Amino acid sequence: MLTRDFMGQTHRVVALPNGQFEYNGKPYSSLTAISQAIAVRLL
């Protein structure tokens, strides 16, 4: 599990065995995709 605090919120990402990542119950193909999803949510 990867954990980061950003703008007062803690974000947790799980690395899955198939090479993908899970954030908030959704699969993502890259950490970049997750960072973009976080940025959109915070705007």
What pLDDT is attached to residue 41? 83
What pLDDT is attached to residue 42? 75
What pLDDT is attached to residue 18? 97
**pLDDT per position in the chain (43 positions), as tens?**
999 998 899 999 999 999 999 999 999 999 999 999 999 987 7
What pLDDT is attached to residue 12? 98
- For residue 17, how many other CB atoms are within 10 A of its CB? 5
What pLDDT is attached to residue 4? 95
Residue 26 C-alpha from the chain's centroid: 9
Report how many domains make up the chain: 1
Provide the whole-model pTM: 0.84
CB 32 within 8 A of CB 24: no
CB 1 within 8 A of CB 13: yes
Distance linking the first and last C-alpha atoms of the chain: 25
CB 13 within 8 A of CB 21: yes
The whole domain housing 19 covers 2-42
